[in-house]
Structures are given as structure tokens and as C-alpha cells.
């Protein structure tokens, strides 16, 4: 594992006044180095004179000793176990530290974690002094929920515009990263689409895109400073950026490879594919049938999808990756069959097709937040996998119990927090909840009056 070095923006710091702060990504280095939030937090804190910041991962967290504050970014619910196990250890070597959590999981629902942290940051930190204030033990802040203040309502904080001021041009990188050795370029935050299941749409509302001239500047500087020849475009909806072709042309002229996250089928054009030069194209139909896509507001038709496939074929794309969900509200057997049929149609056009399929997790703040988790999804996934393997289509899926646990933690409360503290992993948590006949409470329809996350004002 390589070190994550930080370039501090201030000189001649007074050592007597320095606060030692740790940023912790509670998983492996290769995952954390791929997380833009880690880079943003490091960049943000580097500007404060009296703060010395270091970044840690699960491989080296034991080096955190005698720190004043530990900020943990939680991107995924199943990282809670790592985070709590690490906190238990760090409290012995950092007796005076405060522990603060932030990230999308905290914005959706921090209540299962309430007893384990001193404070939670609900929102985005750019343009604020929230982190620095917390280091100095000021908990009475906008966008902060603390066990010392316990506000009844907590309103998300966020910058109305995305600027270059807090953007991390310097990004320690590695071939181990999910993107390879790349500069991470965030085009926009939030999504202008209306998908009913999407957490990003909810917690990063309103959608905000960066100015083209800002992106060009950031990319040019990032390529130069980090000595990379690849740029990864970060956004829930890359293809919806008004100037995406102009940006990609600019990057192409700089001689760098461009790697977008998944593209909506209805935003894929010949002009875009020509400049991207992709070997693998990722599309997320989410549902197999047009009826179900319309219901969940994933407003792309089969014609849109097949048109995108035709364009991909024309530009020599070698592989198409498809993302689907099962267990969506109103789903029928016919909808499940249509996942198979659509995948086969695409396989007839492109030789290599990979399908990722997982159960829908009803997330807080989305249109489906109160819906039940479909336990029959496990059988549906197995059925689809069996059918597609006969067509020589590779199928990937997450561990089903891990997905069940994700739902429990996403919609959990303080009771779940008690069980969480006694569990080293998701298997132990689910086993304890089953034993006490509580698991169904968090997987069935949720009573809006009992949903703890209603105290979090996202919009």
C-alpha cells in the first residue's frame, strides 16, 4: 500500500497550536484512493493553518495515535462494521479525540450510528468551516448533529454552486485504484433525472454542473500535477452534461484517455462515442421491461437502449456491461423475463455482455423509502443467472445477505445501533435480529411516523 501524502497549503505552522486530524476511509486503500470524497476532505483541511492532516485506510489505521479528531467518510452501509471496530481500537490510543462521520450514508440516516460518534456532518463541506470548527469542539453548527446538542431537526448544508476553490487538483493515485492511475474529475453533483429509487438524486439535490472552463482548467492542472494520462469523469449523469462532447474533445486533444462512469442510453451519440474511444460501455437499464422503467421513472425506451448498442457496435466497443435491479415495486414475472430477453437481444449485437443484477434497496429520502425489501429477489437473481449463463452471458451479483443488511442499516434506528455495536459483520447482525424476531421490522413496509430519517431535512 502506498502512502496518501497531503500537500499543505499553509506554511510556518505554529507547532504549539497544531491540531492533528485524521481522515479515515474504513476500507481498503484501493477503494479509498478511488473515492473523490477522500481527496476533497484532504484538500479542504490542508488550507487551515492550525490543522495537520493525514489520511488512513483499513491497512494502516493503527498508526492513528494521539490525534485530536478523526473524520470518517461513510460511502457504503456495510463499511459500518469496519468503522466501529476501528473506533473501538482507536479510542484506546486516542483518548482525547473526537470522532465525526460524514458522507452519503450519514445524509440518508445516521441514527443507527448515533451512540458511536461525537458528531455527524449532514451535507457537503465545500465553502464552510464546519470541519475546522468541530476540531475545536464547536458542535453548535448548521448541518451538524451532535450527541452534545441533539437538535430535533437537522438541515443539510451544501454549496449552491460548485467552484474550483475546494477542488483537489493534487490527487495521490495508484494503479490499484478502481479507475487505474487517473485524475478524478467531477463534472457535476446530483442528477436532473427523476428515478424513484435513486439516493444520489435525493441527497445531492439540486443537480449542479461545473462550468466548462472550470473543468478544462482542473483537468489540465490535474494531468500536469499528478503526471497521469487518464481522466475519470465523475457524476451520476455524465451524459446529461451540456458540454460533454466539448469537454471530451478538449481532453482528447491533450492526449489523455477519458473514462466515464455509466452513460444513460438516451445520451449516447455517435459524436460522443467517437471521442470517447471506449472498449467497454456501461449502461444501466435497471428494469427489463419498458412498463417497469416508466413506473420507476427510468425514462429510457428499448429503442433508446438498442440504438445505443448499435452506436457502440459501430465504434468497435468490445463489451457492454448492463446493470439491472429486481424486487422493484409492481414487478411481475414478465418484467423478470424481460431482463433475460433484453440481455439476449444485446448479446446478438455485441459478443461480450456482462450483467450485474441485485435486489433494489429501498433507501431513505427516495420515492421507495417506505417500500418492503423483496426477499424473493434471491430466487429471481438465481433464475436470471441460470438463464443467461446458457447464453454465455457473464452475471455478477452481490452477496444477498449483505444486501439485506444494507437495507436494515439504511433504514435502521437506535435499536439497530445497539445490535450493530455487538456485531463484527453483517452475518452476526442478521443472526441476532432473526433470533430476536426483529429483522422483518426493517424489511417490511415502514411506517412514515417511525422513520428516524424524517428528522433530516435533505431539501
DSSP string computed for 145-159? EETTT--S-EE-B--
Q: Sorting pLDDT into bands at 50, 70 and 90, what band is 5?
A: low
CB 59 within 8 A of CB 91: no
For residue 333, the domain's CATH number is: 3.30.750.200
Summarised one tens digit per residue, pLDDT across range 27-71 is 999 999 999 999 999 999 999 989 999 999 999 999 999 999 999
Ramachandran quadrant class, 66 (left: phi over 0; alpha: psi -120 to 50; beta: rest): left
Read off the C-alpha cell for 14.
Answer: 505554529
Structural domain includes residue 82: yes
Give the per-residue pLDDT at 338. Answer: 98
CB 438 within 8 A of CB 408: no
Summarised one tens digit per residue, pLDDT across range 398-434 is 999 999 999 999 999 999 999 999 999 999 999 999 9
Give the whole-angstrom CA distance, residue 123 versus residue 144: 9
Judging by DSSP bridges, how do beta strands 257-260 and 230-234 pair with one another?
parallel
Structural domain includes residue 34: yes
Structural domain includes residue 195: no
Mean pLDDT over residues 254-268, rounded? 93
Largest CA distance in the chain: 68
Residue 58 structural domain? 19-155
Mean confidence (pLDDT) of the chain:
95
Structural domain includes residue 206: no
Give the whole-angstrom CA distance, residue 63 versus residue 238: 38
Q: Up-side HSE of residue 241: CA atoms within 13 Å toward CB?
A: 29
Summarised one tens digit per residue, pLDDT across range 167-195 is 999 999 988 888 889 999 999 999 999 99
Q: Sorting pLDDT into bands at 50, 70 and 90, what band is 438?
A: very high
Q: Where are the beta strands (DSSP E) in 207-291?
A: 208-209, 230-234, 257-260, 280-286
Read off the C-alpha cell for 164.
Answer: 474550483
Q: Sorting pLDDT into bands at 50, 70 and 90, what band is 2?
A: low
CB 90 within 8 A of CB 72: no
Distances (CA, A) of 216 to 187, 213, 252, 275, 336: 10, 5, 12, 16, 43
Give the per-residue pLDDT at 294. Answer: 98
Mean pLDDT over residues 372-389, rounded? 98
Give the whole-angstrom CA distance, residue 164 versus residue 426: 39
**Residue where a domain terminates, one of 106, 124, 155:** 155
pTM for this structure?
A: 0.95
End-to-end CA distance of the chain: 39
- Whether residue 203 is predicted with pLDDT greater than 90 in this model: the reply is yes
Structural domain includes residue 247: no
- Whether residue 12 is predicted with pLDDT greater than 60 in this model: the reply is no
CB 234 within 8 A of CB 162: no
Summarised one tens digit per residue, pLDDT across range 315-340 is 999 999 999 999 999 999 999 999 99
CB 36 within 8 A of CB 204: no
**Residue where a domain terminates, one of 349, 367, 397:** 397
Closest by CA position to 43, among listed 220, 184, 210, 216 = 184
**Residue where a domain terminates, one of 155, 176, 195:** 155
CB 192 within 8 A of CB 240: yes
Give the per-residue pLDDT at 103. Answer: 98
The distance from CA 223 to its chain's CA centroid, rounded to whole angstroms, is: 24
- Whether residue 1 is predicted with pLDDT greater than 60 in this model: the reply is no
Structural domain includes residue 10: no
CA angle 147, 149, 151 (to 5 degrees): 100
Summarised one tens digit per residue, pLDDT across range 227-260 is 999 999 999 999 999 999 999 999 999 999 999 9
Structural domain includes residue 51: yes
Q: How many structural domains compose the chain?
A: 2
Residue found by looking up cell 457537503 in the block: 124
What is the helix (H) or strand (E) element at residue 308, kind and residue range?
helix 302-314
For residue 135, the domain's CATH number is: 3.40.50.2300
67 class by beta-carbon count within 10 Å (0-12 exposed, 13-18 middle, 19+ buried):
buried
Summarised one tens digit per residue, pLDDT across range 108-130 is 999 999 999 999 999 999 999 99
Structural domain includes residue 436: no
Give the whole-angstrom CA distance, residue 172 versus residue 185: 14
Amino acid at each position: 500500500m502506498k502512502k496518501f501524502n497531503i500537500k499543505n497549503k499553509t506554511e510556518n505552522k505554529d507547532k504549539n497550536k497544531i491540531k492533528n486530524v485524521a481522515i479515515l476511509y474504513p476500507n481498503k486503500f484501493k477503494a479509498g484512493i478511488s473515492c473523490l470524497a477522500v481527496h476533497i476532505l484532504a484538500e479542504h483541511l490542508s488550507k487551515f493553518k492550525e490543522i495537520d492532516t493525514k489520511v488512513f485506510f483499513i491497512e494502516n489505521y493503527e498508526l492513528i495515535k494521539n490525534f485530536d479528531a478523526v473524520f470518517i467518510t461513510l460511502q457504503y452501509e456495510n463499511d459500518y462494521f469496519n468503522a466501529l471496530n476501528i473506533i473501538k481500537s482507536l479510542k484506546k490510543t486516542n483518548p482525547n479525540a473526537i470522532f465525526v462521520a460524514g458522507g452519503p450514508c450519514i445524509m440518508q440516516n445516521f441514527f443507527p450510528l448515533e451512540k458511536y460518534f461525537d458528531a455527524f456532518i449532514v451535507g457537503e463541506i465545500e465553502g464552510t468551516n464546519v470541519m475546522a470548527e468541530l476540531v475545536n469542539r464547536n458542535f453548535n453548527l448548521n448541518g451538524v448533529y451532535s450527541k452534545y446538542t441533539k437538535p430535533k431537526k437537522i438541515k443539510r448544508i451544501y454549496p449552491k454552486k460548485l467552484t474550483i476553490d475546494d477542488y483537489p487538483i493534487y490527487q495521490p493515485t495508484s494503479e490499484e485504484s478502481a479507475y487505474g492511475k487517473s485524475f478524478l474529475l467531477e463534472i457535476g453533483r446530483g442528477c436532473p433525472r427523476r428515478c424513484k429509487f435513486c439516493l444520489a438524486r435525493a441527497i445531492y439535490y439540486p443537480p449542479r454542473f461545473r462550468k466548462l472552463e472550470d473543468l478544462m482548467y482542473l483537468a489540465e492542472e490535474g494531468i500536469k500535477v499528478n503526471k497521469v494520462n487518464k481522466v475519470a469523469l465523475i457524476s451520476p449523469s455524465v451524459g446529461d452534461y451540456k458540454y460533454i462532447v466539448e469537454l471530451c474533445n478538449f481532453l482528447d486533444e491533450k492526449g489523455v484517455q477519458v473514462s466515464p462512469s455509466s452513460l444513460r442510453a438516451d445520451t449516447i451519440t455517435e459524436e460522443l462515442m467517437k471521442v470517447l474511444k471506449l472498449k467497454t460501455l456501461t449502461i444501466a437499464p435497471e428494469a427489463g421491461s419498458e412498463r417497469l422503467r416508466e413506473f420507476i421513472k427510468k425514462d429510457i425506451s428499448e429503442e433508446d437502449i438498442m440504438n445505443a448498442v448499435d452506436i457502440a457496435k459501430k465504434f468497435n466497443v468490445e463489451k457492454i456491461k448492463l446493470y439491472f435491479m429486481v424486487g422493484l415495486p409492481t414487478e411481475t414475472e414478465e418484467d423478470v423475463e424481460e431482463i433475460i430477453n433484453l440481455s439476449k437481444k444485446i448479446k446478438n449485437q455485441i459478443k461480450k455482455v456482462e450483467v450485474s443484477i441485485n435486489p433494489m434497496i429501498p433507501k431513505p429520502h427516495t420515492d421507495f423509502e417506505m417500500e418492503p425489501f423483496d426477499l424473493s429477489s434471491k430466487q429471481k437473481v438465481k433464475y436470471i443467472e441460470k438463464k443467461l449463463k446458457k447464453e454465455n452471458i457473464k452475471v455478477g451479483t452481490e452477496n444477498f445477505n449483505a444486501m439485506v443488511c444494507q437495507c436494515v442499516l439504511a433504514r435502521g434506528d437506535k435499536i439497530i445501533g445497539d445490535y450493530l455495536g455487538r456485531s463484527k459483520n453483517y452475518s452476526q447482525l442478521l443472526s441476532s435480529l432473526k433470533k430476536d424476531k426483529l429483522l422483518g421490522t426493517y424489511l417490511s413496509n415502514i411506517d412514515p411516523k417511525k422513520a428516524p430519517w424524517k428528522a433530516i431535512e435533505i431539501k
